[in-house]
């Protein structure tokens, strides 16, 4: 494994993340490598966060994001927190500015170990989300699953947080729905020309939501940061909550909420944890890898 770089297996509230250090290189983590890594049980992931040398002045790094099916992603809030924790441990810095294909992200690690990421401004215009047809009001679009007279899910709020989201409002525990069945149908619905993240959101109070997400390009996920942001913004936008809420991610094994603050300057700030699990070496072109303790062992 001569063409290797360091990577870390991490998670953000259960959202499985691989942070790959591509600094000092001009190549990229390939789609084939991503698919191969996800095929191995130890390295299954929701997103790869590949850290590259900065492209824009005043930024600390350019982050390339891949889904587990090898496709590109525009945003990943939980993954960004993992990058912050990794770089903070390496450099001692607490404040970072990253560039992604979706724009600039500012982040800070707090003294208690939680990390805040400014996810930018939400987008509500139908052609920028994007949707395949015009909706004057994207806070409630015409889309449903199930019988016409008694749909299981209907009338989601649609928006973009750098990637497209549809938030379906439910009146019972999101875990009680067969999202594994409905998720692929909704993600790939023709109304979403770039596919979409599908979230079920239950309003618990005027400052709390409970959510579960089918993630575009990754499937059922334990957590999705941009979906939590989209849920919080959509809840405030439709008068269900205030602008600052705690998100109980129903599928996450980590019982710590995400705090989402849709600030008056229109920026959405997400605060939550990140956790390092283990590290190793990986070939970014093939996905062959080894753990730190196994660097002399046969590569996978």
Is 130 part of any domain?
no
The reported pTM is 0.90
CB 201 within 8 A of CB 262: no
> What band does 294 get if pLDDT is binned at 50, 70 and 90?
very low
pLDDT(42) > 90: yes
Look up the CATH number of the domain holding residue 228. Answer: 3.10.310.10
Q: Are residues 99 and 77 in the same domain?
A: yes
Q: Are residues 116 and 185 in the same domain?
A: no
Q: Are residues 53 and 14 in the same domain?
A: yes
Q: Are residues 161 and 109 in the same domain?
A: no
> What band does 288 get if pLDDT is binned at 50, 70 and 90?
very high
224 is catalytic: yes
Q: How far apart are CA 184 and CA 97, in angstroms?
A: 34
76 is catalytic: yes
Task: Tell me the Ramachandran region of residue 206: left when phi exceeds 0, alpha when psi lies from -120 to 50, beta otherwise.
Answer: alpha
> What band does 293 get if pLDDT is binned at 50, 70 and 90?
low
Is 153 part of any domain?
yes
Q: Are residues 98 and 185 in the same domain?
A: no
Marked catalytic residue, from 51, 76, 245, 258: 76
Marked catalytic residue, from 17, 29, 105, 224: 224
Is 128 part of any domain?
no
Beta carbons within 10 angstroms of residue 92's beta carbon = 7
Report how many domains make up the chain.
Answer: 2
- pLDDT tens across 78-122, in order? 999 999 999 999 999 999 999 999 889 999 999 999 999 999 999
Is 86 part of any domain?
yes
Is 127 part of any domain?
no
Task: Say which range, 175-179, 247-251, 253-257, has the weakest mean pLDDT.
Answer: 253-257
Q: How far apart are CA 124 and CA 130, in angstroms?
A: 9
């Amino acid at each position: 494994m001569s063409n290797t770089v360091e990577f870390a297996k991490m998670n953000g509230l259960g959202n499985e993340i691989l942070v790959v250090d591509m600094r000092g290189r001009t190549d990229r983590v390939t789609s084939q490598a991503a698919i191969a890594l996800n095929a191995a049980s130890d390295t299954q992931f929701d997103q790869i966060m590949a850290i590259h040398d900065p492209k824009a002045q005043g930024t600390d790094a350019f982050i390339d994001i891949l889904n587990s099916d090898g496709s590109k992603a525009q945003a990943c809030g939980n993954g960004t927190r993992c990058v912050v924790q990794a770089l903070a441990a390496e450099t001692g810095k607490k404040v970072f500015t990253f560039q992604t294909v979706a724009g600039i992200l500012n982040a800070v690690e707090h003294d208690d170990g939680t990390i805040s990421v400014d996810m930018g401004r939400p987008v509500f215009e139908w052609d920028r989300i994007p949707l395949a047809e015009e909706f004057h009001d994207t806070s409630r679009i015409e889309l449903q699953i199930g019988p016409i007279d008694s749909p299981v899910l209907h009338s989601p709020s649609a928006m973009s947080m750098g990637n497209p989201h549809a938030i379906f409002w439910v009146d019972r525990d999101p875990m009680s729905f067969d999202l594994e069945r409905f998720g692929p149908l909704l993600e790939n619905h023709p109304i979403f020309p770039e596919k979409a993240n599908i979230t079920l959101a239950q309003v618990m109070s005027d400052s709390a939501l409970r959510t579960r997400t089918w993630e575009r390009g990754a499937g059922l996920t334990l957590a999705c940061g941009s979906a939590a942001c989209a849920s919080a913004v959509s809840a405030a936008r439709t008068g269900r909550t205030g602008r600052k809420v705690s998100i109980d991610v129903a599928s996450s094994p980590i019982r710590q909420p995400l705090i989402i603050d849709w600030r008056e300057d229109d920026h959405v700030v997400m605060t939550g944890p990140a956790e390092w699990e283990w590290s190793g070496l990986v070939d970014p072109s093939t996905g062959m890898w080894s753990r730190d303790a196994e660097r002399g062992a046969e590569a996978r």
